[in-house]
Amino acid sequence: MSASSFVEKITGLQLKRDQQTNRQYAEIVAAITMGKEPDAQEVDRVLAEADKSVDDLKADVEKSQQRIMLHAHANSLPTFLQEREEIQNRLRQIDAEFAKAEKHHQESRYPLETRLRQCDEAIREATSAREELVTTCDDETLLAEMDHVESEIERVSELNRDLLSKATYFEDKADTESMLAEREISTGDRDHRREKSKSL
């Protein structure tokens, strides 16, 4: 075997050994990252062969953990994108429903409000016309009848006020008598119990 062939063979063996050591080191980092505890002597051997320190191992584990977290966030992207699209679609649907309801509300109110204003105007005109008829009436009979009607209205109103006042008076009186009767019954029961206890 020539010298060059021998050197190439040794180089190949070293390369193979380095690759195996790097793979073992990566497996150790992955195991620790996942919360596992590799054999301490095996770890010490691989660190020596890989020319790595304990600080190097710690830094690589932290880097691996950080990458796992980044992967988790990155993998959640499609889910949040889909949810965001669903929320936007729902908001657009709600806005469309609100716009339709608002339009219906306005269309329903407008003719009613217009008719309400017409009614108010008609009431003002009719009231004004009635007042003018009264003030410009020259018929003595009608005027006398109107005076009589107004007098009757005032008499009935006064009668109603008197009746209400009397009704209130009698209600208050009934309440007072009811309270007194309850008090007498209570007092009588107490006196009766007292007399009974004395006789025992």
What does the pLDDT look like over 10-47, one tens digit per residue?
A: 555 566 777 888 888 888 889 998 888 888 898 888 88
Q: How far is CA 61 from the centre of its chain?
A: 45
Say if residue 113's pLDDT is above 80: yes
Say if residue 193's pLDDT is above 60: no
Half-sphere exposure of 5 (CA within 13 A, CB side): 2
Model confidence, pTM: 0.41
**Cβ-Cβ contacts under 8 Å for 60 (sequence gap 6 or more):** 29
Say if residue 171's pLDDT is above 60: yes
**182/105: higher pLDDT:** 105
pLDDT digits (tens, 9 = 90+) for 115-140: 999 999 999 998 888 778 777 767 77
pLDDT digits (tens, 9 = 90+) for 86-95: 999 999 999 9
